[in-house]
Chain A
Amino acid sequence: MPEPTGHAEPQSIRFGGVELLTAAEGALVWPEERMLVVADLHLEKGSSFARRGVMLPPYDTRATLERLARAARRHDARRILCLGDSFHDGEAPARLDREGAALLAALAASTELIWIAGNHDPAPPAALGGRVVEGEYRLGPLAFRHIAEPLFASGEVSGHYHPKASIDVRGRRLSGRCFVLDEQRLVLPAFGAYAGGLDVFEPALRALFPGDFAVHLLARDRITPLPHARLAGYCGPEPL
């Protein structure tokens, strides 16, 4: 049966005056800079739960990092920028097993790895490779940070909210993580295998995108651009 419209191929967008790609893996690509941007890896979230006796499968770090390496290869990235909450908690780096650490070291060796501090991991550990940037990373007209600043004017790329959205297709509902963007800002989906999600119409996200916005929905290995009015849960323009 025909799938909903959408493409495994990345979607190009013009944002803040530059050409970017949103990729089906959940990463943002800046081809001109050969840069890959991801948010909210939440590495070692599984073991964080295990500490409390909830034995989630211990494969989340591996799944996340393997996907990140794949995306870096596919998009020929020489720099990877992680927008914070890369580790699920402060002790998460210490819980990395040998394989996880090796995957990470391989990434740091083959690319320039940049960690922006998030609220779960205020200081990503230097021992793991890569360099740490506090607060904000600027490149050209774009500003990258962990959490969107409410009053920021334009060209801001951030993570933190784990946006997700749903559409109804012929009576069936399709949900997935998504990029959210308008003229001013772009919020990335969470990249981590165990990262949950927040619907784009929840007040916290709606406050950042009060007018028209678009999402690029990740569902069924595809990325599908959709206007906000097409999404499940849309109830007309926000009252001002």
Chain B
Amino acid sequence: MPSPSTALPSRFAEWFARRGWTPHPHQLALLAAAREGRSALLIAPTGGGKTLAGFLPSLVELAEGPREGLHTLYISPLKALAIDVHRNLTAPIEELGLSIRCETRTGDTPAHKRQRQREHPPQMLMTTPESLALLLSYGEAAQMFGGLGAIIIDELHALAGSKRGDLLALGLARLRRLAPGCRRIGLSATVAWPDDLAAWLGSGGAEVVRLVAQGGAKPEVSILATRAELPWSGHMALHALAEVYEAIKRHRTTLVFVNTRAQAELCFHELWRLNQDHLPIALHHGSLAVEQRRKVEAWMARGRLRAVVATSSLDLGIDWGDVDLVVQVGAPKGVSRLTQRIGRANHRLDEPSRALLVPANRFEVLECRAALSALRRGQLDGERPRPGGLDVLAQHILGMACAGPFAADALFAEVASAAPYAGLVRADFDAALGFVENGGYALSSYERWRKLFRDSIGRYHVVSDAVARRYRMNIGTIVEASMLKVRLRRGKVLGEVEEYFAGTLTPGDTFMFAGQLLAFEGIQGNDVIASRASGGAPKVPAYEGGRLPLSTHLADGVRALLADSRQWRDLPEPVQEWLRLQRYRSLLPGPEGLLVEGFPRGPHDYLVAYCFEGRNAHQTLGMLLTRRMERAGLKPLGFVATDYVLAVWSLEPVRDLDALLDEDMLGDDLEAWLAESSLIRRTFRTVAIIAGLIERKHPGHEKTGRQVTFSADLIYDVLRKHQGDHLLLRAARADAARGLTDIRRLGDLLARIKGRITHRRLERVSPLAVPVLLEIGREAIYGSALDQLLDDVTVELLAEAGITPEPAARKSVS
């Protein structure tokens, strides 16, 4: 490692010294890489001067050779982060006495400033992937970016592998053409797949320098040993919130992470019910009004809060040095995500982060325990970046046409130089180009109304400025479900709920939102009108896709823990007791193979499969299995899927399990079910919007989400029947197979368990099956009344399973 004095120009060395800082080794290493003109990936925990490390080479370059024109482009997934980084950079620039103009460019930037930035760009520009796509769609892009020296991509792990990441990768490919010598710096949290990340950043060019900044002290993580009765099911962990509140009181500032927005509302509400000391506790999730979120973030930055209850909306973002405790309520679902959340505490690298895991039920205790072991071993998980979407490609192609005429061969080569599209075949590129041109339909009836035309040398042009204008209004890959704004009568907007949830409300119903109890008054246009309420049994809005499935890695951990009773020592006594009883009454699921239990209960027969493949894969399996059971005359009535288990009930008992769970179920049945399912309609809608078939915004008026949903369904039905291999249908199928149905994981499971299924026939429900049976019929949460009802069902089920409930089990949760 070179010594700071030799690597850093004296002006910078002095500045570090004045601040009482010593440059981190990774900061100097990045500087050295930049001096060689090489791109670099810095993997570092939050804090530790990562952002400064990214900018330091640019500051040095501009100090040594001041020049006009855009030099450094900084791209962040969060607008707020771009603004914050801009603010944080102002101080060093001033203190170093540099003459560098540094500006932000986001969707909120006023038109006159945008115009000026295009004509007279600053040396440093902080922006988002969407704003970059917009800038690249102008003819001036070549001029604006031609002299670009560096691109810094922050929170790269959150972008690579997503559709936003695809869009950014395509934008970077264009930037490479406009500014061939430009180097890239990727800043990322610790991930399980650094090779993929480096490949993403380098995109076929020279090798990327990889730097890993060591974390400081190991985090201190513990699992809450609750004094309350450990629940059998549910995800809210209300039983433990009194203890969470005590922990908040003992710490300076606490971040309370939950997994869904509904959990956030309930948890926040319960904490305030317990908040005798009137501690400033706030709420933060993605459906709250932006102004409200910014306010909470600002309070947090100023150290005015003792706790924030948050969802993944705070997984990324601004550093808050003062957080000294992170609480994870509910199971973590993945080790990487847990690691990142824990890293939100104590950004000073020398102090350990402290975290508390709060399992909401018995299975979650096992999951937390498995997560803790993985953390200690430093293991990580998470999906690898997948190939780029064809819908995003279509959007990009139109954007490139807006920037200026292109030849198909050249654009294909450029696109294929972006890592997510490295495997793109020419036929798919041509299909995407054809789609942009005139819809790409087998029937050539739209020749007259094409969006692109070819000139005499075969280059593609947009037909009109109107097409370009509409493209620019619809840039981006984030597609929300149809949402309605929640507005107080004659008052402000509190945030948004899904249209579906609003549809379940009738006037007078109360619901919990933005930390308040609201009474529903009605729907006006696109607004849910509400007023403050004081009682009733409130509903809690649920949001699609709010829940992440259990990662394969953690699932393996849970299976291993179950199979090895020597590891049970560390588990709370009630959990140990539960597992011992299971071993006595039935079997424990082994680390390999599949345990399936069957037992009668009331008039029905139940089948419980311990697959541990996550909710999404289990739901798909449930759909397919019940179709097969229907055909086999077993009269299936329903199923319920959790992250761990699938339970199906039917009028007739299942006998030949091997035949039912054969791999061939992923063939025709899957096709048939998927084609009709609401899942694929949802992915089709997303794909149609991203690809630009359905425009969210038109000049003059904004189409509401509600209309979009309806017409996407109609288009899907017609297209499926008349051109089943259309680009958009292929893209929608690819998305459905990956996310919501988790077909890959299901396929892996079916292959793994072939010939290794243990079918255990029991006379009654087993202890391990109790939690999943308690999930039956729980579609929504209706406050404490439901808890009481569930308590009663719990006691009933436990008695059936031959478990004598402790007196405490009858105690109401509230």
Chain A contacts for B721, CB-based, 8 A: 59, 63
Question: Taking the nearest CB of chain B, how far is it from the CB of A43, in angstroms?
Answer: 13
Chain B contacts for A47, CB-based, 8 A: 445-446, 449
A122 at the B interface (CB under 8 A): no
Give 1 or 0 for each of B689-722: 1 = CB within 8 Å of chain A CB.
0000111000000000001001100110111011
Given the contacts A50-B446, A62-B722, A173 and B711 also touching, CB distance less than 8 Å = no
How many Å lie between the Cα of A194 and that of B693 in the bound state?
A: 14
Q: Are A55 and B718 neighbours in the complex by a CB distance under 8 Å?
A: no
Chain A contacts for B636, CB-based, 8 A: 1
Given the contacts A1-B636, A57-B722, A173-B500, A97 and B445 also touching, CB distance less than 8 Å = yes
B interface size (C-beta, 8 A): 39
Chain B contacts for A135, CB-based, 8 A: none
In the complex, what residue of chain B is closest to A96 when comparing beta carbons?
B445
How many Å lie between the Cα of A193 and that of B636 in the bound state?
A: 34
Q: Are A173 and B441 neighbours in the complex by a CB distance under 8 Å?
A: no
Choose one: B445, B466, B780; the contact of A53 (CB below 8 Å): B466
A60 at the B interface (CB under 8 A): yes
Question: Taking the nearest CB of chain A, how far is it from the CB of B608, in angstroms?
Answer: 18
Choose one: B449, B507, B718; the contact of A51 (CB below 8 Å): B449
CB-contacts of A59-93 with B (<8 A)? 59-60, 62-63
Chain A contacts for B441, CB-based, 8 A: 55, 57-59
Chain B contacts for A54, CB-based, 8 A: 693-695
The bracket for how many chain A residues form the interface is 20 to 34
Chain B contacts for A197, CB-based, 8 A: 710
B751 at the A interface (CB under 8 A): no
Question: Taking the nearest CB of chain A, how far is it from the CB of B779, in angstroms?
Answer: 4
Chain B contacts for A2, CB-based, 8 A: 637
B723 at the A interface (CB under 8 A): yes
Q: Are B711 and A196 neighbours in the complex by a CB distance under 8 Å?
A: yes
Q: Are B451 and A55 neighbours in the complex by a CB distance under 8 Å?
A: yes
Give 1 or 0 for each of B462-498: 1 = CB within 8 Å of chain A CB.
0000110010000000000000000000000000000
Question: Taking the nearest CB of chain B, how far is it from the CB of A69, in angstroms?
Answer: 15
B630 at the A interface (CB under 8 A): yes
CB-contacts of A119-159 with B (<8 A)? none
Chain B contacts for A55, CB-based, 8 A: 435, 438-439, 441, 446, 449, 451, 693
Chief secondary structure at chain A's binding surface: loop
Chain B contacts for A63, CB-based, 8 A: 718, 721-722
Given the contacts A1-B638, A55-B451, A166 and B717 also touching, CB distance less than 8 Å = no
Chain A contacts for B779, CB-based, 8 A: 171
Give 1 or 0 for each of B612-626: 1 = CB within 8 Å of chain A CB.
000000000000001
Q: Are B451 and A59 neighbours in the complex by a CB distance under 8 Å?
A: no
In the complex, what residue of chain B is closest to A197 when comparing beta carbons?
B710
Given the contacts A1-B637, A193-B718, A50 and B506 also touching, CB distance less than 8 Å = no
How many Å lie between the Cα of A168 and that of B638 in the bound state?
A: 16
How many Å lie between the Cα of A225 and that of B441 in the bound state?
A: 38
Question: Taking the nearest CB of chain A, how far is it from the CB of B776, in angstroms?
Answer: 11
In the complex, what residue of chain B is closest to A46 when comparing beta carbons?
B718
Give 1 or 0 for each of A84-116: 1 = CB within 8 Å of chain B CB.
000000000000010000000000000000000
Give 1 or 0 for each of B722-746: 1 = CB within 8 Å of chain A CB.
1100100000000000000000000
B807 at the A interface (CB under 8 A): no
Q: Are A173 and B503 neighbours in the complex by a CB distance under 8 Å?
A: yes
Q: Are B446 and A166 neighbours in the complex by a CB distance under 8 Å?
A: no
How many Å lie between the Cα of A57 and that of B638 in the bound state?
A: 37
B466, B636, B693, B722, most chain A CB atoms within 10 A = B722
B672 at the A interface (CB under 8 A): no
A235 at the B interface (CB under 8 A): yes
Given the contacts A53-B449, A57-B441, A166 and B503 also touching, CB distance less than 8 Å = yes
How many Å lie between the Cα of A168 and that of B500 in the bound state?
A: 11
B504, B626, B630, B637, most chain A CB atoms within 10 A = B504
Question: Taking the nearest CB of chain B, how far is it from the CB of A108, in angstroms?
Answer: 22
How many Å lie between the Cα of A5 and that of B779 in the bound state?
A: 21
Question: Taking the nearest CB of chain B, how far is it from the CB of A167, in angstroms?
Answer: 11
Chain B contacts for A1, CB-based, 8 A: 626, 630, 636-638
B206 at the A interface (CB under 8 A): no
How many Å lie between the Cα of A170 and that of B776 in the bound state?
A: 11
B443 at the A interface (CB under 8 A): yes
Q: Are B449 and A193 neighbours in the complex by a CB distance under 8 Å?
A: no
CB-contacts of B402-448 with A (<8 A)? 435, 438-439, 441, 443, 445-446
Q: Are A59 and B637 neighbours in the complex by a CB distance under 8 Å?
A: no
A233 at the B interface (CB under 8 A): yes
Q: Are B726 and A57 neighbours in the complex by a CB distance under 8 Å?
A: yes
Chain A contacts for B435, CB-based, 8 A: 55
How many Å lie between the Cα of A232 and that of B636 in the bound state?
A: 27
How many Å lie between the Cα of A57 and that of B435 in the bound state?
A: 11
Q: Are B439 and A57 neighbours in the complex by a CB distance under 8 Å?
A: yes
Q: Are A57 and B466 neighbours in the complex by a CB distance under 8 Å?
A: no
Chain A contacts for B695, CB-based, 8 A: 54
How many Å lie between the Cα of A57 and that of B504 in the bound state?
A: 33
Chain A contacts for B445, CB-based, 8 A: 47, 50, 58, 97
How many Å lie between the Cα of A57 and that of B694 in the bound state?
A: 11
How many Å lie between the Cα of A170 and that of B446 in the bound state?
A: 43
How many Å lie between the Cα of A232 and that of B715 in the bound state?
A: 24
CB-contacts of B211-257 with A (<8 A)? none
In the complex, what residue of chain A is closest to B436 when comparing beta carbons?
A55
Question: Taking the nearest CB of chain B, how far is it from the CB of A143, in angstroms?
Answer: 30
Chain A contacts for B446, CB-based, 8 A: 47, 50, 55, 58
Q: Are B718 and A194 neighbours in the complex by a CB distance under 8 Å?
A: yes
Question: Taking the nearest CB of chain B, how far is it from the CB of A96, in angstroms?
Answer: 10
Chain B contacts for A173, CB-based, 8 A: 500, 503
A56 at the B interface (CB under 8 A): yes
Q: Are B715 and A56 neighbours in the complex by a CB distance under 8 Å?
A: yes
In the complex, what residue of chain A is closest to B447 when comparing beta carbons?
A50
Chain B contacts for A52, CB-based, 8 A: 449
Give 1 or 0 for each of B599-637: 1 = CB within 8 Å of chain A CB.
000000000000000000000000000100010000011
Q: Are A235 and B717 neighbours in the complex by a CB distance under 8 Å?
A: no
How many Å lie between the Cα of A197 and that of B630 in the bound state?
A: 34
In the complex, what residue of chain A is closest to B638 when comparing beta carbons?
A1
How many Å lie between the Cα of A195 and that of B707 in the bound state?
A: 11
How many Å lie between the Cα of A60 and that of B638 in the bound state?
A: 36
Q: Are A235 and B470 neighbours in the complex by a CB distance under 8 Å?
A: no
How many Å lie between the Cα of A97 and that of B636 in the bound state?
A: 48
In the complex, what residue of chain A is closest to B693 when comparing beta carbons?
A55
In the complex, what residue of chain A is closest to B522 when comparing beta carbons?
A235
Question: Taking the nearest CB of chain B, how far is it from the CB of A193, in angstroms?
Answer: 5
CB-contacts of B631-653 with A (<8 A)? 636-638
How many Å lie between the Cα of A63 and that of B715 in the bound state?
A: 11
Chain A contacts for B694, CB-based, 8 A: 54
How many Å lie between the Cα of A57 and that of B439 in the bound state?
A: 7
How many Å lie between the Cα of A171 and that of B777 in the bound state?
A: 9
How many Å lie between the Cα of A197 and that of B709 in the bound state?
A: 11
Question: Taking the nearest CB of chain B, how far is it from the CB of A229, in angstroms?
Answer: 12
Q: Are B467 and A53 neighbours in the complex by a CB distance under 8 Å?
A: yes
In the complex, what residue of chain B is closest to A174 when comparing beta carbons?
B678
Question: Taking the nearest CB of chain B, how far is it from the CB of A88, in angstroms?
Answer: 13
Chain B contacts for A193, CB-based, 8 A: 714, 717-718
How many Å lie between the Cα of A168 and that of B714 in the bound state?
A: 21
Given the contacts A1-B626, A166-B503, A232-B503, A53 and B451 also touching, CB distance less than 8 Å = yes
Q: Are A235 and B507 neighbours in the complex by a CB distance under 8 Å?
A: yes
Binding site for A on B (CB under 8 A): 435, 438-439, 441, 443, 445-446, 449, 451, 466-467, 470, 500, 503-504, 506-507, 626, 630, 636-638, 693-695, 707, 710-711, 714-715, 717-719, 721-723, 726, 779-780
Task: List 14 other contacts, CB 8 Å, given A53-B470, A59-B721, A166-B503.
Answer: A50-B446, A51-B449, A55-B446, A56-B715, A57-B441, A59-B719, A60-B718, A63-B722, A97-B445, A171-B780, A193-B714, A193-B717, A196-B711, A232-B504
11 pairs, CB–CB < 8 Å, chain A vs chain B: A2-B637, A54-B693, A55-B446, A57-B722, A57-B723, A58-B446, A59-B443, A63-B722, A166-B503, A171-B780, A194-B718
Complex A-B, nearest 4 residue pairs according to Cβ-Cβ distance, in ascending order: A55-B439, A59-B722, A171-B779, A50-B449
